[in-house]
């Protein structure tokens, strides 16, 4: 396992706002995360890299087909 990042660190790493990652956790479709206890959320940096690669496209029409 690579480094575990806080929500703020993970958001900065992927170029999103922390609120956007929070929304992804609620609605689904975002990167995998760990819930440690009741309130602590962490993201594995390796999971973020995989998630970013899965959401890499060469055209906007391709991205719409995949639902992102």
Q: Give the per-residue pLDDT at 33.
A: 97
Q: Give the per-residue pLDDT at 68.
A: 47
- Top-confidence residue, 63 or 16: 16
Its domain, for residue 39, covers 4-65
Q: Give the per-residue pLDDT at 63.
A: 61
Cα–Cα dist 41/13, whole Å: 15
pLDDT digits (tens, 9 = 90+) for 10-51: 999 999 999 999 999 999 989 999 999 999 999 999 999 999
CATH number at residue 16: 1.10.1660.10
At 65, list the tokens.
């087909």
Q: How confident is the model at residue 59 (pLDDT cuts 50, 70, 90)?
A: confident
Number of domains in the chain: 1
Neighbour tally for 55: CB within 10 Å: 14
């Amino acid at each position: 396992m690579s480094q575990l990042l806080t929500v703020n660190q993970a958001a900065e790493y992927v170029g999103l706002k922390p609120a956007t990652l929070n929304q992804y956790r609620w609605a689904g479709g975002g990167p995998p995360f760990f819930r440690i206890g009741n309130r602590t959320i962490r993201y594995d940096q390796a999971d973020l890299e995989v998630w970013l690669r899965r959401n890499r496209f060469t055209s906007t029409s391709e991205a719409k087909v995949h639902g992102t």
